[in-house]
Chain A
Amino acid sequence: MSAFNAIGEEREIDRDEFTPEIEPQATWCPGCGDFGVLKALKQAMPEVGRNPEETLLVTGIGCSGKLSSYFRSYGFHSIHGRSLPVARAAKLANPGLEVVAAGGDGDGYGIGGNHFMHTARENHDMTYIVFDNEIFGLTKGQTSPTSPKGHKSKTQPHGSAKSPIRPLSLGLTSGATYVARTAAVNPNQAKEILTEAMEHDGFAHIDFLTQCPTWNKDAKQYVPYIDVQDSDDYDFDIHNRGEAAEMMREAEDALYEGEVLTGRFYVDDERPSYQQEKQQTGDMPEEPLAERYFDDDYEWERSYDLLDRHK
């Protein structure tokens, strides 16, 4: 359909196309891990072969939420914790779009935790990047759901009594069909994982470790990291839920002891995406809903035809 002529356009795609006219230095602090996510995402786009105008990046609120400001595509900078519901509806309305949602650990695992669980459960075909810096950045350093137990902050002066949540395990048990962890300090792996995630047909969850030098100086755990795929010490079947869960548990325990395990933890290529499931049950049209509004010849059904049951 001509209205969406940016979708599926075949051409060489250059990563610079994703750079808008404003600079991330505008808000991000020097040394912030968010730069790494931005860079990796721009590098992944040409690999995936998607151009800026067929890509919709939906973000939440937080330093992480600013990603959509510094990435040139169609963007939606929504509200705190709500990137996923906005993103998944856009994908349902127009499955031709490459939909990426992003936010912080507070945004994604705190206020938006419910949406995370449900979007994963439904296995929407999209990529979800959570900038995990174990802190609330934008609101100036409060404890986040991934802050370690005992972490002291202005809002937890005696040290947090809460254990951190386990994002990878949560992603897996909720139903995500691609679960990975990568780190801003590891650009090559990050790019590869982002590429895979976008190419994956289902909900891809990436716990993306980012450093926040401004509010979380103590968190030195991001170096050195170990890629679980490259290390002979970790042998597990990435398609096996049980083994993946075990590996995640290890990685999540290790993180707070200073050992950062990254890489792919779980991939399920078999399970159909939510959109496919819905189409199979006749709950969703085969053709993108959004296209219909640009089709002058489409015959719109009307309520008048439903009135028989009311006579």
Chain B
Amino acid sequence: MTDDELIWRIAGGSGDGIDSTSQNFAKALMRSGLNVFTHRHYPSRIRGGHTYVEIRASDHEVKSRGDGYNFLLALGDSFARNPQEEAYYGNEEIKPLTENLDELREGGVIVYDSGLLDTEEVENFDERVEENNWNVYDLDLRGLAKEHGREIMRNTAGVGATAALLGMELDKIEELMQNAMSGDILEANLDVLEDAYESVQSDYEFTHDLQIPTGEHEEDQVLISGSHGIAYGAIDEGCRFISGYPMTPWTDVFTIMTQNLPDMGGISEQVEDEIAAASLAIGASHAGAKAMSGSSGGGFALMSEPLGLAEITETPLVLVESMRAGPSTGMPTKPEQGDLEHVLYTSQGDSNRVVFAPGDAAECYEQTRKAFEIAYNYQIPAIVLYDQKLSGGHQSTDESVFDEEPNPDLGSIVTEDDLEEAAKEAGRFKRYMYDSDDGVSKRSIPGQKGGNFLASGNEHNEVGHISEDPDNRVIQMDRRMAKLDSIREELNENTDHQPVYGPEDAQYGILSFGSTKGVVEETVDRLNDDGHSVKAMNVSDLMPFPKGEVTDFLEDVDEALVVEMTATAQFRRHIQGQLGRFGEKLYSLLKYDGNPFEPEEVVSGFESRIEGSADLGEYNVRIESATGD
């Protein structure tokens, strides 16, 4: 465990402004030169209910949440004091202390709001403090905030206290406040901030050693969530039509797009359900716009039929699937990767689609762009699969990632000349032409002269008429299916699109997909520092699957651990299914308790499997061996 990092946890009630406060604080840390990674934990409740946000900040790269944390700002839950709420949920006032202490590291710092929280009510509080060498500072944050205006500003007081305790300058925080607010509110907040800062400095004797780390960025940074990555990738690909229906956590992308598109001359439609949402995206795409839709688990299930429609009509379509724990409504605010097979195989028939699973905010941007490019060039549905963790968690990311030229190209469409040529040669335009090398036959857009055709969800012949002719059926199926091979070839041209992390010749491997990328990379670093020989591959191209690269990776290692947030090892099964071998080499590390992996869990999982040394008893993770070979 490293001490050169701050992992700051702010805990309180949902709706108490914890999100915005932590966003600002994370930015201030980023502005002062640190790398930042945030993790949001919240209940499926709008107001009240225990919630926390964790900010990990360090000079070194931070790719995941850390193991535990070392600074707790316990604010209290103001909504818990509502007597009606109390009747429902019991006394939640002390939860910011009771719910968080287990993960606080030894020697860590606790600042709590003595205006709202009473440590007498927390079982064995003093004993635990002593045992763990915690440094406790009680401050009447609520009272302090009230003095200057409103009690909600106790967040600000907490940040001021944090800064004082960590030896941080206030300037970066003040700057951000000045950007975010104005007038009396700004003045009041600045007063609260400074007041808390000064009273901590003057009234307390510091017992802790934790200091704010120092760092410097080589490149300009932005604090971005995976959802921003996806939305911005779509925007840069010229996506100007989005349709959706709210569902956590997909709502993040939907909201970001909706807040930007109209000002860019685009269109956003919140519609009656997800079947409609996907169908609208198809309609807009058919009519010549670049369109996107998406949802989470249950909503995506409703999109299953339109997904197939897009495929057989060869209408380009990009869908986003932001996974949360299932089955059914499951745990709306908790991450899991259990929709993998659902996304890979849903929809009737031998249906095809392209699936990308980005692993961090930058990849969300890049792979969404790729998804659009492939969808429009190959006229096939492309899905960007990610999860609740990546959706709302923010990461400091190089600004240059986003400095790519826009690409509003509609892909494989006919020109007027093509249409004139077609009229001369065949008498009419053949939308679903039999002969094409890569499976793609160019489409026309309604309104183009000479381009009319029928796009049908029924099997159809080359001009678009519904047909059950066996020869036509085989030709059309083969042509549509050939697209995946062409796409695989195109993706493979880019040699490092499934990069290996760690030493090439390592003895052991770790495989993962999507948001577990960061935690696996941290694990690899730690294991190699400890004398192990491990490398990792985070597979982001899930369909078509990069068979060659994963085979090479697996052939080189003695054994590989497949790390995923599922209960049934879906990703491992996908690898085995795609490669048809390696059963004897693959072991799964599974976690499905609603929380993302922490590095220590993966380290222990690895050690437990390889050396039989570590005990997994204290974690909610499970090792499982593969079946078959």
Residues of A within 8 A of B (CB): 2-7, 9, 20, 22, 52-54, 56, 58, 61, 66, 68-69, 72-79, 82, 85-94, 96-97, 114-115, 117-118, 278, 282-285, 287, 289-290, 292-294, 298, 300-304, 306-307, 310-311
26 A-B pairs with CB atoms under 8 Å apart are A53-B448, A56-B446, A58-B283, A69-B456, A69-B465, A76-B313, A76-B454, A78-B457, A79-B306, A79-B309, A82-B305, A86-B286, A89-B291, A90-B287, A92-B241, A93-B287, A94-B288, A117-B272, A285-B267, A290-B447, A301-B235, A301-B406, A303-B365, A306-B235, A306-B260, A311-B223
* Complex contact A79–B457 (CB within 8 A): yes
Question: Are A53 and B279 closer than 8 Å at their CB atoms?
Answer: no
Q: Mark B279-311, 1 if CB is under 8 A from A, else 0.
A: 111111011111100000000000001100100
For the complex of A and B, the 5 pairs showing the least CB-CB separation, nearest first, are: A89-B283, A303-B232, A4-B447, A290-B288, A85-B279
Contact indicator A118/B448 (Cβ below 8 Å): no
B238 within 8 A of A: yes
CB distance from B358 to the nearest CB of A (A): 15
Pick from A3, A77, A283: contact of B447, CB under 8 Å: A3
User: Chain A residues with Cβ under 8 A from B615's Cβ?
Assistant: none
Q: Are A4 and B223 in contact (CB under 8 A)?
A: no
Interface pair B452/A302, CB less than 8 Å apart: no
- Set of chain B residues within 8 Å of A22, measured between Cβ atoms: 465
Chain B residues near A68: list those with CB within 8 A.
454, 456
Is the CB–CB distance between B262 and A94 below 8 Å? no
User: Is the C-beta of B224 less than 8 angstroms from some C-beta in chain A?
Assistant: yes
Give A150 Cβ to nearest chain B Cβ, in Å: 32
Min CB distance, B423 to chain A, in Å? 12
B233 to chain A, nearest CB (A): 8
A20–B272 Cα distance when bound, in Å, is 35
Contact assessment for A89 and B448 in the assembled complex, using a CB-CB cutoff below 8 Å: no
Number of chain B interface residues as a range: 35 or more
B236 located at the interface, meaning its Cβ lies under 8 Å from any Cβ of chain A in the complex? yes
Given A82-B275, A86-B282, A310-B224, A77 contacting B287 (CB threshold 8 A): no
A154 to chain B, nearest CB (A): 24
How far, in whole Å, are A61 and B403 apart by their CA atoms in the complex?
Answer: 45
Contact B286 A311, beta carbon cutoff 8 Å: no
B280 touches A85 (CB 8 A): yes
How long is the Cα–Cα vector from A203 to B262 in the complex, in angstroms?
Answer: 23
| Minimal Cβ-Cβ distance residue in B for A87 | B283
Chain A hits for B291, CB < 8 A: 89, 93
In contact, A290 and B235 (Cβ under 8 angstroms): no
| The residue from B221, B289, B406 contacting A93, defined by CB atoms under 8 A apart | B289
Q: Give the shortest distance, in Å, between B456 (CB) and chain A (any CB).
A: 4
Q: Does B480 contact A (CB under 8 A)?
A: no
A254, chain B: closest CB distance, angstroms: 32
Q: Are B448 and A3 in contact (CB under 8 A)?
A: yes
Residues of A contacting B531 in the complex (Cβ-Cβ under 8 angstroms):
none
Tell me whether B430 is interfacial, beta carbon within 8 Å: no
Which residues of chain A have C-beta atoms less than 8 A from B266's C-beta? 285, 289
B268, B272, B306, B402: the one contacting A307 at CB < 8 Å is B402
Least CB distance, B580 to chain A, in whole angstroms: 34
Q: Does B183 contact A (CB under 8 A)?
A: no
* Residues B288 and A73 in contact, CB atoms below 8 Å apart: no
CB-CB under 8 A from B409, the residues of chain A are 293
A293 touches B289 (CB 8 A): yes
Determine if B279 and A96 form an interchain contact, defined as CB atoms under 8 angstroms apart.
Answer: no
Residues of B within 8 Å of A91, CB to CB, are 287
- Beyond A89-B269, A310-B224: 17 further Cβ-contacts under 8 Å? A5-B449, A53-B446, A69-B454, A69-B456, A69-B465, A77-B458, A79-B306, A86-B280, A89-B283, A94-B446, A278-B267, A302-B406, A303-B231, A303-B236, A304-B402, A306-B260, A311-B221
Using a CB-CB cutoff of 8 Å, which residues 105-147 of chain B contact chain A?
none
Query: In whole Å, how far is B29's beta carbon from the nearest beta carbon of chain A?
Result: 13
Contact of A284 among B238, B262, B403 (CB under 8 A): B262
Is B452 a contact partner of A73 (Cβ separation < 8 A)? yes
CA distance A4 to B178 in the complex (A): 49
Q: Assuming the A-B contacts A69-B465, A310-B222, are A290 and B454 also in contact, with contact meaning beta carbons closer than 8 angstroms in the complex?
A: no
In the complex, chain B residues whose CB is within 8 Å of the CB of A69 = 454, 456, 465-466
For residue B443, give the distance in angstroms from its CB to the closest CB of chain A.
11
Q: Which residues of B contact A54 (CB under 8 A)?
A: 446-447
Contact A306 B447 (CB under 8 A): no
| Nearest opposing residue in chain A for B221, CB measure | A311
Within 8 A of A (CB), among B219-263: 220-224, 228, 231-233, 235-236, 238, 240-241, 243, 260, 262
A290 to chain B, nearest CB (A): 4
Given contacts A92-B269, A293-B408, contact A56 B287 (CB under 8 A): yes
**A7 near B447 (CB under 8 angstroms)?**
yes
Which residues of chain B have C-beta atoms less than 8 A from A303's C-beta?
231-233, 235-236, 365, 402
What CA separation (Å) do A304 and B260 show in the bound complex? 12
Q: Contact partner of A90 among B27, B232, B275, B286, CB < 8 A?
A: B286
Give the contacting residue for B449; candidates A53, A87, A283; CB below 8 A. Answer: A53
The reply to whether B267 and A86 contact each other, CB–CB distance below 8 Å, is no
Q: In the complex, are the beta carbons of B276 and A118 less than 8 A apart?
A: yes
If A94-B446, A301-B264, A303-B235 touch, whether A78 touches B240 (CB-CB below 8 Å) is no
The CB with the most chain A CB atoms within 10 A, among B233, B288, B455, B466, is that of: B288
Please indicate which of the listed interface residues A54, A76, A292 has the most CB atoms of chain B within 10 Å of its own CB.
Answer: A76
> Is the beta-carbon distance between A93 and B241 smaller than 8 angstroms?
yes
Contacts of B306 in A (CB 8 A): 79, 82
Closest chain B residue to A115, Cβ basis: B276
Determine the distance from Cα of A278 to Cα of B269 in the docked complex, in whole angstroms. 10
Is B267 touching A300 in the complex (CB atoms < 8 A)? no
Asked whether B273 is an interface residue with its Cβ less than 8 Å from the other chain, the reply is yes
Report the Cα distance A187→B577, complex, angstroms. Answer: 59
| Complex CA distance for A69 and B455, rounded to whole angstroms | 10
Contact of B276 among A53, A82, A283 (CB under 8 A): A82
Note all chain A residues with C-beta closer than 8 A to B31. 311
A114 touches B272 (CB 8 A): yes
Q: Are A53 and B309 in contact (CB under 8 A)?
A: no
* Nearest CB of chain A from residue B293's CB, rounded to whole Å: 10
Task: Give the nearest-CB partner of B275 in chain A.
Answer: A82
Say whether B284 contacts A90, CB under 8 Å.
yes
> Who on chain B is nearest to A68 by CB?
B454
A11 to chain B, nearest CB (A): 12
Say yes or no: A90-B276 contact (C-beta < 8 A), given A61-B457, A290-B288: no
Contact B453 A310 (CB under 8 A): no
Asked whether any CB of chain A lies closer than 8 Å to the CB of B410, the reply is: yes
CA distance in complex: A249, B262 (Å): 41
Contact A118 B223 (CB under 8 A): no
**B466:A77 contact, CB within 8 angstroms:** yes
B454 near A307 (CB under 8 angstroms)?
Answer: no
Q: Which residues of B contact A58 (CB under 8 A)?
A: 283
B213 within 8 A of A: no
Which of the listed residues A7, A22, A85, A283 has the most CB atoms from chain B within 10 Å of its own CB? A85
Q: How far is the CB of B177 from chain A (nearest CB, A)?
A: 15
Which chain A residue has the least Cβ–Cβ distance from B261?
Answer: A283
How far apart are the CA atoms of A117 and B271 in the complex, in Å? Answer: 11
Residues of A within 8 A of B235 (CB): 301-303, 306
Beta-carbon contact of B238 and A53 below 8 Å: no
B371 to chain A, nearest CB (A): 15
Distance (Å) between the CB of A97 and the closest chain B CB? 6
User: A290 is contacted by which of B264, B273, B281, B287 (Cβ under 8 Å)?
Assistant: B287
Decide if A3 touches B416 in the complex (CB within 8 Å). yes
Cβ of A298 to closest chain B Cβ, rounded Å: 8
Give the chain B neighbours of A9 by CB distance below 8 A.
449
Chain A residue at minimal CB-CB distance from B428: A21
* Cβ contacts under 8 Å, A78 to chain B: 279, 282, 309, 457
- Shortest CB-to-CB span from B131 to chain A, Å, is 41
Contact indicator A282/B448 (Cβ below 8 Å): no
The answer for the CA separation of A84 and B271 in the assembled complex, in Å, is 12
Interchain nearest-CB distance for B30 vs A (Å)? 8
